[in-house]
Amino acid sequence: MKKMYTGSCHCGAVRFEADINLSEGTFKCNCSFCTKARNWLTTVKPDAFRLLTGESALTDYRCTPTSNHNLFCKHCGMRPYGWGEAPELGGKFYAVNVTCLDDVDINEFLSAPIAYIDGRNDNYQSPPLEIRHL
């Protein structure tokens, strides 16, 4: 069941709401960006995401011209969410960093399924051979 969560960067300059069902799953990717950032994400449709404050505090980083928009707070450096376009996900999506959700009970984290994605090899439908470092 979807639940409305609030989330933020570390300093609170960026605040958002998102309707998420953590029991539908989260993911970790082994691409160079996600590995270095230790991203733990879930995706939501645009109508399930609302930026409340901090648009002017966000800076956009793209690994390549066609990659997702990795947004981070220019004050504290946190990456609360990003966005991209993927036909297999129905078009535009938001990738919410679940560790930036402010009101998650630890048991929700413990019971949220995690899928591992082999982004390093552009094989998004399969897990990587090694996941212990993610």
- Give domain limits for the chain: 23-121
- pLDDT band of residue 28 (cuts 50, 70, 90) is very high
Give the pLDDT score at 31: 92
> What is the token pair recorded at 64?
């390549």
Give the pLDDT score at 59: 97
- pLDDT band of residue 122 (cuts 50, 70, 90) is confident
User: For domain 23-121, which architecture applies?
Assistant: Beta Complex (2.170)
Give the pLDDT score at 107: 93
> Which amino acid does the sequence have at 105?
D
Q: Does residue 125 sit in helix, strand or coil?
A: coil
Query: How does the average pLDDT of the chain come out, rounded?
Result: 94
> Which residue has tokens 């300059």?
13
pLDDT digits (tens, 9 = 90+) for 51-109: 999 999 999 999 888 889 999 999 999 999 999 998 877 889 999 999 999 989 999 98
Mean pLDDT of 19-32: 95
User: How far is 125 from 27, CA to CA, in rounded Å?
Assistant: 12
Centroid of chain to Cα 90: 17
**The model's pTM:** 0.90
Mean pLDDT of 37-58: 97
Give the pLDDT score at 64: 82
- pLDDT band of residue 9 (cuts 50, 70, 90) is very high
